[in-house]
């Protein structure tokens, strides 16, 4: 219910309008981000599981457990609840961390560019409307 109110409020806020338009125009980039992230998470989760599965008291009991670790690592959140103990696992973790930054950086720069373009367009439209109103007022006087 509250989400619907936010969408109604977006009609009056140029920032929210720009955000909504950005989400709409950035669907290809968001799809690409999701696909790259999913593929990379599956790849590194599988590697990490097989690298750490023979360790005693390992936290990587399955590929989905390793998937949680991979998402946290790639998004640079780093809770610390899962961590590799083998040398190969640490090497995989380093690669996953660097890959996460790269996978997230490319589409996000495109999304930010779309937002900037949409916001500038919205501001220019607003300025154009303001100018027309001023001109109309000056002709009425």
pTM, entire model: 0.72
Better pLDDT: 34 or 3:
34
Mean pLDDT over each residue of the chain, to the nearest integer:
86
Give the model's pLDDT for residue 103. Answer: 86
CA torsion sign, 127 to 132 to 135 to 136?
Answer: negative
Better pLDDT: 43 or 31:
43
The pLDDT > 70 percentage for the chain reads 93
pLDDT at 12 over 70: yes
CA torsion sign, 13 to 17 to 18 to 23?
Answer: positive
Mean of pLDDT values over 78-93: 91
**Model confidence over 90-105: pLDDT tens digits?**
999 999 999 999 888 8
Give the model's pLDDT for residue 29. Answer: 82
Give the model's pLDDT for residue 6. Answer: 65
| Alpha carbon 82 to its chain's center | 23
The owner of tokens 């720009």 is 18
Give the model's pLDDT for residue 141. Answer: 64
Q: Which residue ranges form the domains of the chain, and what is each CATH number?
A: 30-111 (1.10.287.70)
pLDDT at 3 over 70: no
């Amino acid at each position: 219910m509250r989400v619907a109110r936010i969408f109604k409020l977006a009609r009056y806020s140029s920032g929210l309008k720009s955000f909504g338009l950005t989400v709409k125009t950035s669907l290809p980039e968001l799809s690409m981000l999701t696909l790259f992230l999913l593929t990379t998470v599956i790849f590194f989760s599988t590697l990490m599981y097989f690298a750490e599965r023979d360790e005693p008291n390992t936290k990587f009991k399955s590929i989905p457990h390793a998937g949680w670790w991979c998402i946290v690592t790639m998004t640079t959140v780093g809770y610390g609840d899962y961590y590799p103990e083998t040398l190969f696992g640490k090497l995989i973790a380093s690669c996953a961390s660097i890959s996460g930054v790269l996978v997230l950086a490319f589409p996000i720069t495109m999304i930010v560019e779309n937002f900037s373009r949409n916001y500038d367009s919205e501001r220019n439209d607003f300025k154009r409307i303001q100018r027309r109103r001023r001109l109309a007022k000056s002709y009425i006087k």
